[in-house]
Amino acid sequence: MLEIWSKIVEFFQDSGIYYIFTQVDGWKYVVMIFLSLFLLYLAIFKHFEPYLLLPISIGMLIANFPGVSEYVFQKNIDGTYSGLFGVLYAGVQYEIYPCLIFFGIGATTDFGPLIANPKLMLLGAAAQIGIFLTFVAACAFGFTAGEAASIGIIGGADGPTAIMITTNLAPHLLSTVSLAAYSYMALIPFIQPPVIKALTTKKERQIKMEQVRDVSKLEKIVFPIIITIISIILVPTAGPLIGCLMFGNIIKESGVVPNLVKSCSDVILYIVNILLGLCIGASTDAATFLTFDTLKIFGIGIVAFVFATATGVIGGKIMCWATHGKVNPMIGAAGVSAVPMAARVVQIEGQKEDPSNFLLMHAMGPNVAGQIGTAIVAGIFLSFLA
């Protein structure tokens, strides 16, 4: 009888309930469980980045029950990971998942608006200035250069790039930066409009732009090849992301491998999103995630989005002045690489001022340029800091 009772006591002491109520940091697991449920709510009921927030929240929920880490996600002394998600985490460690996601993004991206109006690439570049401003701000808050670069890249509104940079320069911040990046990406429709309105006049927001010209199939095939060559020659460290992005785009524009296009843009993209989300969520350990640095990163992260949006709009205002009012400065806000979410925000804001104004295709130019620009900025950070 005593042996049975001792087994029952031992079973209870191994349970999560015992840990939560007897350990000093037990409350942190409760907070993480409620946080995961909140993210689950945002994904399902508010549709905030559901394709990634849903697996992230599930991974976070499973991994933050005390005692389950050794079966789900555990970092070993030698730097390796074990457990179900720990094995899958190799795709994050070796930068496989971000590159595969770029395959899928490339296969769904139309560079036509950018090719038709190449000067819009300058607006994509302008938005990247916000990343460097955030980098400086993060350094001022006491983060190391590698950590600051990882935080700054949040402003690029590109989750896979943020993951790749953080994996290389500040792996201990990966879960925090990833969660901040994808959370704020989902909040772009709320973050960008106030910044746009603060920096533009009603007259500027009502500017109508000329319809873009038709782009030939040859131009669409040659463009990704040229961008790949130039980017890798100038910034070799951007090669993996730019190469995968442009490869995905070439197979789309070539028109000769429709099954590959479907695989990249559908099957591969969604499978990798699931694996990446689960791994990120599982890596949000309560003991390391719930710190003051996490609050600072989330705070600076939203500043990063504001800076990137602001520098893009300011670039748009300069272009508006240089073209004597032919460019609506709002399209500069689409210079962040959240494709096509940022472009849709510009379209919505334009139609609020004038329902007959259609800016979506014009905004897609700086939007896809921002995708390229953020990857190049990531390469620059890796060149200097890795």
User: Where do the H-state alpha helices sit in 255-386?
Assistant: 258-262, 269-282, 286-289, 292-322, 341-353, 360-385
Q: Where are the extended beta strands (E) located within 61-206?
A: 74-75, 81-82
Q: Measuring CA to CA, which residue among 156, 132, 147 is closest to residue 241? A: 156
Query: Average pLDDT of 40-53?
Result: 87
- Domain ranges (residues) in the chain: 35-385
C-alpha distances out from residue 65 to 73, 277, 348, Å: 11, 18, 42
The percent helix, strand, coil of the chain (3-state, each to 5) is 80, 0, 20
Q: For residues 386 and 168, is the Cβ–Cβ distance under 8 A?
A: yes
Q: What is the mean pLDDT of the chain?
A: 89
pTM for the predicted model, two decimal places: 0.88
Residue 234: how many CB atoms within 10 A of its CB?
A: 11
Question: Going by C-beta distance under 8 Å and a sequence separation of 6 or more, which residues neighbour residue 27?
Answer: 20
* Residue pLDDT, tens place only, 210-244: 888 889 999 999 999 999 999 999 999 999 999 99
* Residue pLDDT, tens place only, 341-371: 899 999 999 999 999 999 999 999 999 999 9
* Residue pLDDT, tens place only, 304-329: 999 999 999 999 999 999 999 999 99
Selection from 44-53, 178-187, 310-319 with the highest mean pLDDT: 310-319
